[in-house]
Chains A and B, each alone.
Chain A
Amino acid sequence: MPNKIMCRMGDGERVWLPAEQIKEDILRGTRDAAERAKIPELTEEECERLFDIMADPSKVVSVSPGEEVIVTDDAVSMLFYADQENSGQGIPMSRTQSLLAYERACAADTISMGHTDYSFKQVKPIINYETQEYYNASQMTTAPFFYGSQPNMGLYFQPDGPYPNPAELLPQGKISEALEAQEIAMEHLSADLIYIGKEMNGVGCEGINFDTAASAGDADFKATLQAVEKLKALAPGMSIIVGMSSEFVMGMHGDITYKGKRLAGIYPHEQVKVVEEAGADIFGPAINVNTSESIPWNLARAVTFVKETVAVAGIPVHPNVGMGVCGVPMFEVPPVDAVTRASKSLVQIGKADGL
């Protein structure tokens, strides 16, 4: 493919694009992010730097020595023993063995564990099992060790939970009922997050990860913020990460506020400020991936959002870089060339404190 550069689409498909098109995609991507969130576009120099990373002929790229950052995760050690639904390899290993392998064989900066279902609601009935597993492992691990799970307020609605489902009520025009259901579920979720956090702190938990926050919208996000605030008062020695589920908070309710700030529709550079105000220690923005656009377009958007978020943040920012967010292709086995280009771009241009 003379005069063309090997590249990827948002779904991971390999394509060869002319340099001019990659540059154009980078420009369109940064403008899209800037217009949506009303933040600055990448500078001409940053766009050129991003192009250079995209056009690097190496399969695997990396940051330079001295530029490395901290990597946190969402129970990545689970991948050793979990099944395909968790992108796992199905190796017959215990959770503790997986944690130690991730710490010592993969040399991860931090490690974490979570329940296979990875939702806090599912953890509550088996909390004693989880605290015991965490405690036992924490005596053997040296790297910082998080317990992670998703707030996932959707599980509190029928048929999975006790409350009427807003997704069914809203199309029926039952607006007030839909709002009320979310408000009740929000308080229930918040209480569960606090309960689990307190139990984990009781066994010396080093850090808790509220991962994929706001997946059910603004009420889900507020439940998480309330839990962070309460846990920071009850358990100040337990570090807290709040990682997001998408680039803006869906207004499933619309009128939910936190300390006077309306949560619906806020973007990462605004999300980090409320997360910071709640008392969290690390923030993880999640920028959506459009599978029909190229990785240069997707990555330019992600870097634009992340750069502004890092610039305004008073706490470390670790962009989420799993499948389908922050410029990583939406594919179960993301190609390593695309993953490392996302990694390098977010650190070198986005100035992320970690990933």
Chain B
Amino acid sequence: MPTAHVMASAMGGIRTAGDLVAWMQMTRKMKIDEAKTYVADKLGVELIALTDEEIMRQVREDLDIGIITSVSGSAKGIAAKWKIAELLDIDINSVNHFRAKVGI
């Protein structure tokens, strides 16, 4: 059932820009249209591109913010979230915790 919702209505997570738009709802309480516009502006892409795998795959690889397929040496997990926080100009709790632990 969750997969049916994901396929019918979701943005696609780290396959596209779903995680980025979700961060804006979580950290700035943005409604969906505002969150999408904010992310599209930060990425420099059109709104419709946010859920287009053909575009977002390359955008994510270029920015090194985590991609759906596993590439050795590419950013994922906390490293990707660190870069996402900087890209979107937001505070991510886990990233702040990590930064505090490493003294940055």
Confirm or deny: A297 has a beta carbon within 8 angstroms of a beta carbon on chain B: no
Known contacts A106-B2, A109-B21; A314 and B10 CB within 8 A of each other: no
Task: Determine if A237 and B91 form an interchain contact, defined as CB atoms under 8 angstroms apart.
Answer: yes
Task: Determine if A204 and B77 form an interchain contact, defined as CB atoms under 8 angstroms apart.
Answer: no
- Chain A residues near B25 (CB, 8 Å)? 70, 281-282, 316, 353-354
Chain A, 321-340, CB within 8 A of any chain B CB: 321-323, 328, 333-334, 336, 339-340
Interface SS of B by simple majority: helix
**Which B residue's beta carbon lies closest to that of A138?**
B94
Task: Determine if B51 and A204 form an interchain contact, defined as CB atoms under 8 angstroms apart.
Answer: no
* Shortest beta-carbon distance from B63 to chain A in Å: 12
* Shortest beta-carbon distance from B40 to chain A in Å: 11
The one of B9, B11, B52, B93 that contacts A201, using a Cβ cutoff of 8 Å: B93
Chain A, 215-242, CB within 8 A of any chain B CB: 235, 237-239
The one of A72, A238, A343, A354 that contacts B32, using a Cβ cutoff of 8 Å: A354
Confirm or deny: A312 has a beta carbon within 8 angstroms of a beta carbon on chain B: no
Task: Determine if A62 and B9 form an interchain contact, defined as CB atoms under 8 angstroms apart.
Answer: yes
**Which A residue's beta carbon lies closest to that of B90?**
A237
The one of A206, A313, A355 that contacts B94, using a Cβ cutoff of 8 Å: A206
Task: Determine if B6 and A336 form an interchain contact, defined as CB atoms under 8 angstroms apart.
Answer: no
Confirm or deny: B102 has a beta carbon within 8 angstroms of a beta carbon on chain A: no
The one of A106, A142, A323 that contacts B3, using a Cβ cutoff of 8 Å: A106
Known contacts A336-B4, A353-B25, A353-B32; A143 and B9 CB within 8 A of each other: no
**Which A residue's beta carbon lies closest to that of B15?**
A107
- Chain B residues near A175 (CB, 8 Å)? none
Chain B, 43-66, CB within 8 A of any chain A CB: 47-48, 51-52, 65-66
Confirm or deny: A110 has a beta carbon within 8 angstroms of a beta carbon on chain B: yes
Known contacts A69-B32, A237-B91; A321 and B5 CB within 8 A of each other: yes
Task: Determine if A142 and B14 form an interchain contact, defined as CB atoms under 8 angstroms apart.
Answer: yes
- The proximity string for B residues 1-33 relative to A, scoring 1 for CB distances below 8 Å and 0 otherwise, is 111111111111111101101110111011110
* Shortest beta-carbon distance from B43 to chain A in Å: 15
Confirm or deny: A203 has a beta carbon within 8 angstroms of a beta carbon on chain B: yes
Task: Determine if A140 and B8 form an interchain contact, defined as CB atoms under 8 angstroms apart.
Answer: no
The one of A60, A108, A333 that contacts B6, using a Cβ cutoff of 8 Å: A108
**Which A residue's beta carbon lies closest to that of B19?**
A143
Task: Determine if A142 and B21 form an interchain contact, defined as CB atoms under 8 angstroms apart.
Answer: no
Q: How far is the CA of A76 from the CA of B13 in the complex (A)?
A: 15
Task: Determine if A340 and B12 form an interchain contact, defined as CB atoms under 8 angstroms apart.
Answer: no
**Which A residue's beta carbon lies closest to that of B97?**
A204
Known contacts A65-B51, A328-B1; A109 and B8 CB within 8 A of each other: no
Task: Determine if B1 and A144 form an interchain contact, defined as CB atoms under 8 angstroms apart.
Answer: no
Task: Determine if B48 and A334 form an interchain contact, defined as CB atoms under 8 angstroms apart.
Answer: no
Known contacts A76-B2, A109-B21; A69 and B11 CB within 8 A of each other: yes
Which 9 pairs from chain A and chain B are nearest by CB? Answer: A204-B97, A109-B18, A239-B26, A142-B66, A204-B94, A343-B8, A353-B32, A71-B10, A107-B15
Given contacts A62-B9, A282-B26, A328-B1, 19 further A-B contacts (CB under 8 A): A66-B47, A66-B48, A66-B51, A68-B11, A71-B10, A72-B22, A104-B70, A107-B6, A109-B11, A109-B21, A110-B13, A140-B76, A144-B19, A203-B97, A204-B97, A206-B94, A343-B4, A354-B32, A355-B9
